A and B are shown apart, each in its own frame.
Chain A
Amino acid sequence: MTAAFQAEGLVKRYGKTVALDGVDLIGRPGTVLGVLGPNGAGKTTAVRILATLLRPDGGRATVGGFDVVKDPVKVRRLIGLTGQYASVDEDLTGLQNLELIAALLDYRGAEGRRRAVELLDQFDLTDAGGRPVKTYSGGMRRRLDLAASLVGRPDVIYLDEPTTGLDPAKRDDVWNMVRNLVTEGVSVLLTTQYLEEADALADEISVINHGRVIAHGTPAQLKHIVGGQTVVVRPLDPEHLPAVADILQGIAGVAAESPSRGVLTVPVDGDAALGHVVRQLESASIPVLELALRLPSLDEVFFSLTGRHELEEQAA
């Protein structure tokens, strides 16, 4: 199947600064590709090239099979863009913003209004639709921005850090909207600095740092790259903590750690470890409140990936 969007060896320089240094990205139709990286990693530059706003200095990018440099107009018919800074017009009302975009997308007057009203409703902005956007809260503005990028029912949506600066409840709203888009068959490119966000939304993740993709895979694959899983045990009675620690050390071969009061964790290799833990706890008659086998968090993945990358850079 053809990719919804694809970047191959993208290079972009600003003077002596290399913003992108050979970036490959691929978004499969109907999925979310998370592009994860710190500030200045090159995420926004990559999005701007894929959105035809910026010409690459090297490499190529396609959307729906159309080259972003050679066929920009066809690409623009397929995409919706939600910028890092909400790019709606503050002086216009929410409705006027959406109607303008509808008109620019060749909707006829009444159809355009219908589409605008429909989107305001969908994004819970019906009551605010007649007010200038400068009176909106940050969350409302972000919702309107997302609505604005959906007017033309795009195949591919770029969400450039859609939740930066939003409080957790508003963030959940945006997450749900993204999930809804995917169920409608839209392909999404999501850039984020938040590992949690990529983990929650992305089918695949490309980790980007210093203008290069340093890892790619599903969230689970990325977690595996860093290796081991962790067994977490919280005994019902804290008196049992030393006994649990002995059991864990016996299985893992390393001393258990206590990241918070009453909890012990130990890194393990292999899938049989959890079974051993369960059986030994049972035979020792230690009741537990919490027992889990978890993958490393994406934070741990990211730090080990970027750390390794930086070491390679220094060695080179």
Chain B
Amino acid sequence: MSTSTTSTRLSDPHAIPDRPEPRPFALVRHSLQLARRSLLKTMRTPEQLLDVTLQPMIFIAIFVYLLGGAIAGSTHDYLQFLLPAIMVQTIMMSSTVTGTNLNTDIKKGVFDRFRSLPIARSAPLIGSVLGDLIRFVVAITVTLGFGYLIGFRIGTDPLQLLAACLLVIVFGFCLSWVSVLIGMLVREPGAATGLGFLVMFPLTFGTNMMVPTDTLPGWLQAWVKINPATHAMEAARALMLGTPDASGPVLKTLLWSAVLLVVFAPLAVSAYRRRT
């Protein structure tokens, strides 16, 4: 940096030789950089991962050993039925963290800096959602690992298991935009968590996660059948256990994911633009 110059920058733009030129694929690069930031933050504060590590283990243990015998007649059969669905539930609950973190960032003024930089308005949001995918990976690893330890076995092959994991991550990614929207709309991080859980409870528990759909009262069956989470859980079960046929639920899950993304991502970005 030249320190001897007394000419002003604006009158002589060539006075600063080493300012970088804008490069292509800016949105992708900037979003990935901001995803890296989320990742670094998560690694710095591993206690933030409690909800995707301890929580699924506790849920599995409670449901399987407390209710499994009564519901399925055997804890092992129930574990097979429950585990793919718990994987989906964990990811759905975990997606609420993104909105809370974003709300915190905005309150702390970190985003003012980003907003004053020549990057796309959506980049910090996309970055946060992408960075939080690591939480989904941890959730799936822990759920499968713990499940395997207490006797869960897949009925298909590793490739279909991988497909199930990817499908669940895609679903979680798209669902995260609901959480982002919530994070943009509420004033306090605590409110984002509260509201996020309020939305996720009927979505996760209003499914056939714990019991078969046909044991439910009619009005609840109606909800369960249209609930996108049900399709994701069915798809995970089908891909991991081999029954029922996977193609229907997988397709429905992908469709629902696309709908969630197309509806909520633009809403979240526009709420972010309005928020100051």
Known: A87-B110, A89-B110. A111 touches B8 (CB 8 A): no
- Do most interface residues of chain A lie in helix, strand or loop, or is the interface mixed? loop
Taking the closest CB of chain B, its distance from the CB of A102, in whole angstroms, is: 8
B113 touches A153 (CB 8 A): no
B2 touching A101 by the CB < 8 A rule?
Answer: no
Question: In the bound complex, do residue B44 and residue A132 qualify as a contact, i.e. CB atoms below 8 Å apart?
Answer: yes
When the two chains form their complex, are residues B119 and A104 in contact, meaning their CB atoms are under 8 A apart?
yes
Which of B18-26, B176-184, B197-205 forms part of the interface with chain A? B18-26
- Select one of A30, A87, A105, A106 contacting B112, CB under 8 A: A87
- Is the Cβ of A183 less than 8 Å from the Cβ of B3? yes
Q: A148-B113, A185-B9 are in contact. Are A91 and B41 (CB under 8 A)?
A: yes
Taking the complex as formed, is A265 at the interface, i.e. its CB lies under 8 A from any CB of chain B? no
Please indicate which of the listed interface residues B5, B22, B30, B40 has the most CB atoms of chain A within 10 Å of its own CB: B40
Nearest CB in chain A: distance from B127 CB, A: 10
Q: Is B14 an interface residue (CB 8 A)?
A: no
Provide the bound-state CA to CA distance between A208 and B110, in Å. Answer: 27
What separation, in Å, do the CA atoms of A105 and B22 have in the docked complex?
A: 8
Question: Which of A73, A91, A101, A107 has most chain B Cβ within 10 Å?
Answer: A91
State the CA gap A155–B8 with chains docked (Å).
Answer: 8
Min CB distance B24 to A, Å, is: 10
Residue of B nearest to A65 (CB): B10
A88: B residues at CB distance < 8 A: 110, 113
Quick check: is A186 within 8 A (CB to CB) of the other chain? yes
Q: Does A25 belong to the interface (CB within 8 Å)?
A: no
Measured in the bound complex, the distance between the Cα atoms of B6 and A183 in whole Å is 6
Q: Does B116 contact A (CB under 8 A)?
A: yes
B109 on the A face (CB < 8 A): yes
A83 touches B5 (CB 8 A): no
Task: Give B30's nearest chain A residue, CB to CB.
Answer: A104
B16 contact set on A, CB distance < 8 A: 153
B276 in the interface (beta carbon within 8 A): yes
| Chain B contacts for A149, CB-based, 8 A | 113
For window 22-69 of A, CB contacts with B under 8 Å fall at: 29-30, 48, 51-54, 64
Say if the beta carbon of A79 comes within 8 Å of chain B: yes
With A29-B10, A91-B40 as given contacts, are A184 and B116 in contact (CB-CB < 8 Å)? no
A107 touches B20 (CB 8 A): yes
Q: Are B115 and A53 in contact (CB under 8 A)?
A: yes
29 contacts between A and B (CB under 8 A): A2-B10, A29-B8, A30-B7, A30-B9, A52-B116, A53-B112, A53-B115, A53-B116, A54-B276, A64-B10, A87-B109, A87-B113, A90-B108, A91-B40, A92-B37, A92-B44, A100-B33, A104-B33, A104-B34, A106-B23, A106-B29, A111-B20, A132-B44, A156-B10, A183-B3, A184-B1, A185-B5, A185-B6, A187-B8
A residues bordering B, Cβ < 8 Å?
A: 1-2, 4, 29-30, 48, 51-54, 64, 73-74, 76-81, 83, 85-92, 96, 100-101, 103-108, 111, 118, 132, 148-149, 152-153, 155-156, 180, 183-187
